[in-house]
Amino acid sequence: MATKKILITGAAGFLGSHLCDRFIREGYQVIGMDNLITGDLKNIEQLFKLRQFEFYHHDVSKFIHLTGHLDYILHFASPASPIDYLKIPIQTLKVSSLGTHNCLGLAKAKNATILVASTSEVYGDPLVHPQNEDYWGNVNPIGPRGVYDEAKRFQEAITMAYQTFHQVNTRIVRIFNTYGPRMRLNDGRALPAFIGQALRGENLTVFGDGSQTRSFCYVDDLVDGIYRLLLSNYTLPLNLGNPDEITLKDFAAEIIKITGTTQKIVYKKLPKDDPKQRQPDITRAKEILGWEPLINRADGLKITLAYFRSLAPEELYKLPKEFDSIK
């Protein structure tokens, strides 16, 4: 029987690189694709020596051409942090619209199953708590986060259209906050920001009064859920995340404790449209996939902190990438 072949876009990113690892372990032939705007080849350098892996430096917003058969596509290319999509708003919109269109066209041409990475941000600043898949969301389409939120909402819409009109075999995962090794330390998300500040000896910055909540899922748990969803027959959007909810104020205190530092928490103005609550309802994932997170936050944070501590000192002080040349 021929080896199953899978294309993973955003392969050099945080989630994409872990997905490459998982599918290599499962015996797949993996094609990684990334334009490296926010990805880093260091995340997949361990794979380049393997004959089961090949890499294409390509922007999925442009036409995708691959020869030979293809069984699966995981579309994970996208800026995924506030710093990224506020600096490259057009690219953010393109990768989830034009990029998704191209990936869906490729899936149609190859008769491949495609799973697209949506996000809890489709729920916006939710008026329903916890968030289940039937909630339509509360999103400001022209606010500072709209380029990401609405791009992902469009991504879901075009994916469902390809499923219903062209009978493409599709999956949609709505990913809640995820963490683990290979996160970019200075990408603006709460967890790496807090750990980076603690390791640099800086006070931890909490926006607003810190009462807003997040729910953090360890990357291995998320990858397992994505693997199960891809191989399932479920075609509607599905939440994956850890429902263990915590306020950002308490989370900052938790990071101070585990890093053994003596910094204080300082408070700054809450950014516009920042979600006040974020907790997944994973009832459907439990029922359909038999999936739920297994790694608790304490254990996951130990592994993640060890990774950040292993970085070279200059990595701790590296400023976020600039994207001035991206149109």
Q: Which residues contact 208 (CB under 8 A, 6 or more apart)?
A: 248, 267, 269, 270, 274
Q: Which two tokens stand for residue 110?
A: 């190859």
Q: Which two tokens stand for residue 248?
A: 């950002």
Q: Which residues contact 274 (CB under 8 A, 6 or more apart)?
A: 125, 145, 207, 208, 212
Amino acid 197 reads Q
Which residue in this structure is represented by tokens 């090949």?
54
Question: What's the N-to-C CA distance of the chain in angstroms?
Answer: 45
Which residue in this structure is represented by tokens 């501590």?
309
Contact 238, 175 (CB under 8 A): no
What length is written for the chain?
327
Going from the C-alpha of 188 to that of each of 196, 242, 250, the distances in angstroms are 10, 20, 18
182: left (phi over 0), alpha (psi -120 to 50) or beta: left
DSSP label at residue 120: G
Q: Measured between alpha carbons, how far is 178 from 19 in angstroms, rounded to an integer?
A: 13
Which residue in this structure is represented by tokens 């640099």?
200
Q: Which two tokens stand for residue 192?
A: 């790496």
Query: In terms of C-beta density within 10 A (0-12 exposed, 13-18 middle, 19 or more buried), how is residue 154 classed?
Result: middle
**Helix, strand, or coil here: 177?**
coil
Catalytic residues, which ones?
Answer: 148
Q: Which two tokens stand for residue 28?
A: 């797949």
DSSP label at residue 209: T
- In the chain, how long is the greatest CA-to-CA distance? 59
Q: Measured between alpha carbons, how far is 120 from 175 in angstroms, rounded to an integer?
A: 6
